[in-house]
């Protein structure tokens, strides 16, 4: 098909290489919304009659309904969603359809569609975070008084409430929610009206179009308006960090559900079996989420690489922005939904975690703290308790059962009532600093999150 300055038809290879309709079709609702707002501005500026505008609006809505119903046939020859809709509109209503692209370029059109799409998707991902937070708070609330070992270097460190551990992820997810909200605020600018790169001599009311499309403001530089993809990068960055948090939570689930840990049990609905070993119950959901985090990282670096060497303004390289973003959006939404469902059905093995939390060695630091209260410098106290711990390991005698003659030799300050320190519940109550796992603080945070998430 020849048109304009070209005397030959496009190479079939180039058509197949350059088409984007196979993936950007999902922008159809946003393209139609943007086109109606643009047509409305053309009507206000007297470039369209009322009758022409009505025909355009009705035709676009009709096409949108057909796409929604799966009855619309897309053509690779028309490259993208924008031309597929515009050509079909013109075929149906004639010259009025051919007027729609007045004072508009596909450059500002796609930038507008993409922002509309991502504003909508970002809100859905934010809600997905809230759903997962609710699931975690529910599990934490059901196990508020249950203690477990807290770990550093994957070695037992000190006892903490299961609820405190789960609420750590709620805090992480809240920061993810904030990053998405920040990204949404910055992407809330309308580039429509920027034209190909320098606006148009046919001046339209951009502020009115922005209001109609629900944008907070319009872009202030036409070059930036058509070439900016910072908003997509910022979203991909936020989703990569979100994926990292989901991966860490998933790793805890993988560990907790092993026979070696035995801290939790997955529901049958959220586990898989083995094709060979009939006894297996595998945490595939958690493992998949760990793996899919790599996709979120990869998509971020993919778009960073696409953008890093582009001159002003629009370049066809920018077509490579969508698949990466679409994939990250889809991956994040699914990962949040399936993780929330998994955590809501997860069962904590209270007997197992309480037994693990009762290990006297977890309260070695409490013993050192008690020496500090007796005016022993902390480094010396640390050394003394380290020697007691080594003796416990050497002899197999629990730390709270160390012979009194060794206590008398190493730390006579503890001769009175030192065994009473080995009470995990007492230890939790003593941790009263803001952010520490005292029962009071854990209860306060549970109440806070329940109120915020209600």
Size of the chain in residues = 454
**Residue of 188, 163, 180, 187 whose CA lies nearest to 129:** 180
Q: Is 40 part of the annotated catalytic residue set? A: no
Phi, psi of 451 (to 5 degrees): -70, -45
Within 10 Å of residue 75's Cβ, how many Cβ atoms? Answer: 13
**Residue of 115, 290, 93 whose CA lies nearest to 191:** 115
Residue 157 is inside which H or E element, if any? strand 155-161
Answer whether 176's CB lies under 8 Å from 242's CB.
Answer: yes
Catalytic residue, candidates 11, 22, 267, 274? 274
149: Cβ–Cβ under 8 A, 6 or more apart, which residues? 156, 157, 158, 159, 160, 353, 356, 357, 359, 362
- CB half-sphere exposure, 275, CA atoms < 13 A: 0
Cα distances (Å, whole numbers) of residue 329 to 36, 197, 332, 375: 26, 28, 5, 57
Cα distances (Å, whole numbers) of residue 93 to 29, 81, 158, 439: 19, 18, 73, 69
Answer whether 61's CB lies under 8 Å from 39's CB.
Answer: no
Catalytic residue, candidates 3, 153, 275, 454? 153
Separation between Cα atoms, residue 220 and residue 194, nearest integer Å: 9
Cα distances (Å, whole numbers) of residue 373 to 17, 432, 433: 74, 16, 17
Which two three-digit tokens encode residue 198? 């320098």
User: What distance lies between CA 115 and its chain's CA centroid?
Assistant: 18
Separation between Cα atoms, residue 327 and residue 69, nearest integer Å: 23
Using CB atoms within 10 Å of the CB of residue 16, give its burial: 0 to 12 exposed, 13 to 18 middle, 19+ buried.
exposed
Buried b / exposed e over 196-212, threshold 16 CB at 10 Å, is: ebebbeeebebeebbeb
Q: Is 448 part of the annotated catalytic residue set? A: no
Answer whether 435's CB lies under 8 Å from 424's CB.
Answer: no
Q: Phi/psi zone of residue 101: left (φ > 0), alpha (ψ -120 to 50 degrees), beta?
A: alpha
Report the catalytic residues. Answer: 153, 274
């Amino acid at each position: 098909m020849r048109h304009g300055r070209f005397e030959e038809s496009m190479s079939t290879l180039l058509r197949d290489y350059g088409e984007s309709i196979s993936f950007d079709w999902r922008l159809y609702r946003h393209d139609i919304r943007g086109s109606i707002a643009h047509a409305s501005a053309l009507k206000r500026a007297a470039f369209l009659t009322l009758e022409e505008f009505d025909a355009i609006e009705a035709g676009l809505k009709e096409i949108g309904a057909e796409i929604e119903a799966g009855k619309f046939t897309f053509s690779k020859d028309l490259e993208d969603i924008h031309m597929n809709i515009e050509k079909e509109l013109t075929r149906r209503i004639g010259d009025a359809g051919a007027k729609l692209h007045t004072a508009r370029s596909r450059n500002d059109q796609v930038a507008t569609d993409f922002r509309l799409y991502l504003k909508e998707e970002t809100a859905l991902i934010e809600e997905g975070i809230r759903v997962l937070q609710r699931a975690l708070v529910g599990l934490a609330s059901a196990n508020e008084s249950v203690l477990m070992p807290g770990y550093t270097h994957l070695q037992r460190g000190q006892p903490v409430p299961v609820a405190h551990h789960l609420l750590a992820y709620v805090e992480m997810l809240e920061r993810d929610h904030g990053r998405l909200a920040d990204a949404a605020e910055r992407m809330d600018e309308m580039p429509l009206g920027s034209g190909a790169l320098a606006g148009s001599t046919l001046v339209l009311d951009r502020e009115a179009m922005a209001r109609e499309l629900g944008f907070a403001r319009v872009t202030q530089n036409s070059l930036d308006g058509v070439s900016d993809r910072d908003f997509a990068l910022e979203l991909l960055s936020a989703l990569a960090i979100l994926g990292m948090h989901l991966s860490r939570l998933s790793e805890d689930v993988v560990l907790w559900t092993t026979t070696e840990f035995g801290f939790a049990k997955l529901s049958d609905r959220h586990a898989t079996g083995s094709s060979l070993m009939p006894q297996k119950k595998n945490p595939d959901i958690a493992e998949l989420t760990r793996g899919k985090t790599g996709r979120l990282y990869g998509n971020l670096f993919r778009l960073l690489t696409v953008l890093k060497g582009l001159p002003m303004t629009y370049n066809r390289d920018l077509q490579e922005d969508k698949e990466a973003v679409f994939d990250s959006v889809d991956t994040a939404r699914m990962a949040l939904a399936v993780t929330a469902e998994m955590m809501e059905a997860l069962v904590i093995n209270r007997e197992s975690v309480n037994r693990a939390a009762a290990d006297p060695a977890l309260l070695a630091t409490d013993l050192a703290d008690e020496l500090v209260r007796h005016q022993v410098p902390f480094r010396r106290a640390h050394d003394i308790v380290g020697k007691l711990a080594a003796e416990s390991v050497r002899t197999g005698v629990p730390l709270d059962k160390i012979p009194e003659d060794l206590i008398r030799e190493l730390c006579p300050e503890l001769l009175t009532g030192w065994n009473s320190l080995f009470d995990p519940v007492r230890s939790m109550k003593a941790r009263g600093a803001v952010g520490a796992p005292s029962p009071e603080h854990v209860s306060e945070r549970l109440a806070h999150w329940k109120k915020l998430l209600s």
